[in-house]
Amino acid sequence: ITAEDFVRDMLVRRLGVREVWIGPKFHFGNRRGGDIALLQAMGAELGFAAGEIEPVHLNGERISSTRIRELLVAGEFAHAGELLGRPYAIGGRVVRGQQLGRTLGFPTANLRFPKTPALSGIYATWVHGVFEQPWPSVSSFGTRPTVEGVEPLLEAHLFDFHGDLYGRHIEVEFVAKLRDEEKFNDLPALTEQMHRDAEQARRILNEHRLRATA
């Protein structure tokens, strides 16, 4: 869709905008044909105002979604949290999976995603929304190549937890990346690695909790 058609059909006809604010150097529409100049020109014609938001910096670094995404992919969650102003977390309603984790001794709370996320791998995480305090966990985020998975799935194994979370809304806070997602030759090899991941995640989260209370 051209930038002009987007303004007329989406912004004006469907949304009835009165003001449009964009970030610096923002472009939109087919071949990135729309910018602040086009918005202001069409706004004068169609009855809305357009402005540009000044960039926000923290300690000399510009805060942007692109930069935050780069930090998340690199597993630099503390730095990403500084730019976000809060710890990075993903929320959703717990759905039923194949229950393979339960069979392997690692039952998980599963969150589905319609699109492939930027993150992929195994992480030390806190789960919010189960108790008043965040609960320690180890999470897998990806397509589960060992079992020929296709759809993106966030699977959080809550340590020492026994209960039913189906239908509950939870948030999974990412603390540290343990490793990339990989395909194992068989389920015993996967289970052995899951035990190592769990031990590492417990150690990291204990250290994280001690630093937070120091």
- pLDDT score for 106: 81
In which band, very low, low, confident or very high, does the pLDDT at 36 lie, cut at 50, 70 and 90? very high
Report domain extents, the chain: 3-52, 56-85, 87-213
The CATH code of domain 87-213 reads 2.40.30.30
pLDDT, mean of residues 56-77: 93
What percentage of the chain reaches a pLDDT higher than 90? 69
What amino acid is encoded at 136 in this protein? P
Q: What is the mean pLDDT of the chain?
A: 90
User: What SS3 string covers the chain?
Assistant: CCHHHHHHHHHHHHCCCCEEEECCCCCECHHHCECHHHHHHHHHHHCCEEEECCCCEECCEECCHHHHHHHHHCCCHHHHHHHHCCCCEEEEECECCCCHHHHCCCCCEEEECCCCCCCCEEEEEEEECCCCCCEEEEEEEECCHHHCCCCCEEEEEECCCCCCCCCCEEEEEEEEEEECCCCCCCHHHHHHHHHHHHHHHHHHHHHHHHHHHC
In which band, very low, low, confident or very high, does the pLDDT at 212 lie, cut at 50, 70 and 90? confident
What tens digit of pLDDT does each residue of 83-141 get?
999 999 999 999 987 666 666 668 889 998 777 677 889 999 999 999 989 999 999 98
Predicted TM-score (pTM) above 0.85: no
- Residue 148 in this model has a pLDDT that exceeds 60: no
- pLDDT score for 101: 60
